Structure 1
Amino acid sequence: MIDPAKITAIDVHVHAEVSCHDPEDPVMGKYFDAASAYFKADRKRPTIPETIDFYREQNIAFCLFTVDCESGIGAKRVSNYEIAELAAANGDIVIPFASIDPHKGKMGAREARDLVENFGVKGFKFHGIMQDCHPADRVAYPIYEVIAEHKLPAIFHTGHSGMGTGMRGGGGVRLKWGQPMLIDDVAVDFPDMKIILAHPSWPWTDESLSMALHKDNVFIDLSGWSPKYFPKQVIQYANTQLKHKMMFGSDFPLIRPDKWIAAAKEAGFRDEVMPLILKDNAARVLGLA
């Protein structure tokens, strides 16, 4: 179990992109190429053990997940079970999340239940753009039902995506599935599921702010952008009405947590708000406090 008092921060948005057992999927590799160019990041992806070692050195706990987009783009996923097993061996620093393609429906719900009840998974990640699925499509509801039953959080990608940016036809993925308001029905239908809207949600930033203000089960993670580029209203609401709703996320390995934190300290967040964003809010949402 992670002790919040012993860590400096909680990063709620960290990707596992390289399996310890399987080679990089060639289809996914093309999207990694494009995302690395977009973020001006190193193309080499760290292994899960390398990621764990890095975060341990930083003394930052983190939520670790893959993105299951086997139906959307035909890329083989990194196994949720692999992530869960490595997290179990490093439970002082790693919080295992799972990703299940919504199109897997009831079979996906079986996997979700097994991961939660037998492998200690603490949350889930959905990426409508890469999964080519409306977040409120009823095909996903059996999976959501399992998450809500266990009162766990689910991270939903929102806004623009570096995945597919610059590729022919955007790599065939549709940005419309990243509109935050599409998730509002999910927040209504599953009030026991904590919904984390990932990223500043540009170009729909105000939708995420409105949803977090309106729904008690909706939160925002500030990953995917350097804080120096945040829209001004993100800083405004983080400092006031949504100070208990926003959480630190990096989007590692594309953005390093130490660089995100350094930029956040210069972005205009109030001194009393920074501890909430960096650790306290996530500890509460993740059930660590």
Structure 2
Amino acid sequence: MSTRYELGVDFDAVAAIDMHVHLEVDECGHKAMPQDLFDASAAYFKSQERTPSIDRIAQVYRERNMAAVVFTVDARTALDHEPNSIEDLVAGCARNNDVLIPFGSVDPRRGQAAIDDAVYQATELGVRGFKFHPSLQGFDPSDEQYYPLWKALEELWLPCIFHTGQNGMGAGLPGGRGIKLRYSNPLLLDDVAADFPQLKIIMAHPSVPWQEEANSIATHKANVFIDLSGWSPKYFPASLVKLGNNVLSSKLLFGTDFPLITPEKWLGAFEQLELKDEVRPKILKDNALRVLGVRGS
């Protein structure tokens, strides 16, 4: 029988909520991606601890008095590689529910099976959102063949994280291993946000080379947010930082991309950004509480 997750985080006590953490290996040692993609991304990010267990991830965040959203990516069609077990991920988050929050993932290219799986993960396993990586999964999120999935997720009232911008997956490999960057253009998500206005969409990462597009969408659409993972803050585009001090102050979310970037490295650089004092707690925790449906709307 599968374990169902129940939220146990004391949100008043934690200092921050990391909205972007990967579980890259499940309880059986199965990795989320083929080995060559692991090796390429490790070289790209120069990461040291590449495949921590779910309990190790919990330890990292518990020691830092933080909560973390944890997920994997189901890209079985595009990669011809079975995904990590969502059941294992949820069970690991359940036994560490004081610091971990599970997001699910489905492969949109599986049609009705993806919809059924998403409903199962939400209603039976208790996941608190979903993660998609259009480039890795090989799909255009604005294609109307995927609209039944977005409709189902909208009806579940759960946020969805979509990778946007530059891609560490396949970086440096011939042809980028066939991974197409254009699927991660945030403008493709503008269609989804417009047509599903109750679906909370998180555009993951500074969306280089499409940062201005991402800024515009997050400013225009009440249901769109930006997580700041995958880049050290010292490399953030100037326009993102500037707007973060005003019109996007309630739209930006703390995220690292752990284990590729550690909380210490990210937060150390974040302290050096020219941000207003009142904006920092919004980014580190307050905005996430609204996106996760914990507080406010």
Check if 1:19 corresponds to 2:26: yes
CA distance, structure 2, for counterparts of residue 265 and residue 103 of structure 1: 41
Aligned-residue identity in percent: 46
- TM-score, structure 2 normalization: 0.94
**Map 1:32-71 → 2, pairs under 5 A:** 32-42=38-48, 44-71=50-77
CA distance, structure 2, for counterparts of residue 167 and residue 43 of structure 1: 22
Check the 8 A contact 2:161/2:204 in 1, yes or no. Answer: yes
CA distance, structure 2, for counterparts of residue 81 and residue 141 of structure 1: 26
Check if 1:239 corresponds to 2:220: no
Note the residue ranges of structure 2 that are not aligned, 5 or more in a row: 1-7
Check the 8 A contact 1:32/1:43 in 2, yes or no. Answer: no
- RMSD value, Cα: 1.2
Check the 8 A contact 2:16/2:285 in 1, yes or no. Answer: yes
Check the 8 A contact 1:33/1:43 in 2, yes or no. Answer: no
Check the 8 A contact 2:226/2:251 in 1, yes or no. Answer: yes
Farther-moved stretch of structure 1 (37-46 vs 168-177): 37-46
CA distance, structure 2, for counterparts of residue 131 and residue 70 of structure 1: 8
CA shift digits 1:209-262 (9 cap, x unpaired): 000000010000000000000010010011111100000000000001121111
Check the 8 A contact 1:36/1:43 in 2, yes or no. Answer: no
Note the residue ranges of structure 1 that are not aligned, 5 or more in a row: none
Find the partner of 2:35 among 29, 42, 61.
29
Q: Paired residue for 1:125? A: 131
Q: Paired residue for 1:205? A: 211
1:90 to partner: Cα distance: 1.8
Count of equivalent residues: 288
CA distance, structure 2, for counterparts of residue 142 and residue 37 of structure 1: 37
CA distance, structure 2, for counterparts of residue 235 and residue 24 of structure 1: 35
CA shift digits 1:122-180 (9 cap, x unpaired): 10011000001001223322322221002110000000100010001101100110100
Check if 1:223 corresponds to 2:229: yes
What secondary structure sits across from 2:84 in the alignment? coil
CA distance, structure 1, for counterparts of residue 187 and residue 107 of structure 2: 20
Check the 8 A contact 2:50/2:260 in 1, yes or no. Answer: no
Q: Paired residue for 2:271? A: 265
What secondary structure sits across from 2:36 in the alignment? helix
1:43 to partner: Cα distance: 6.1
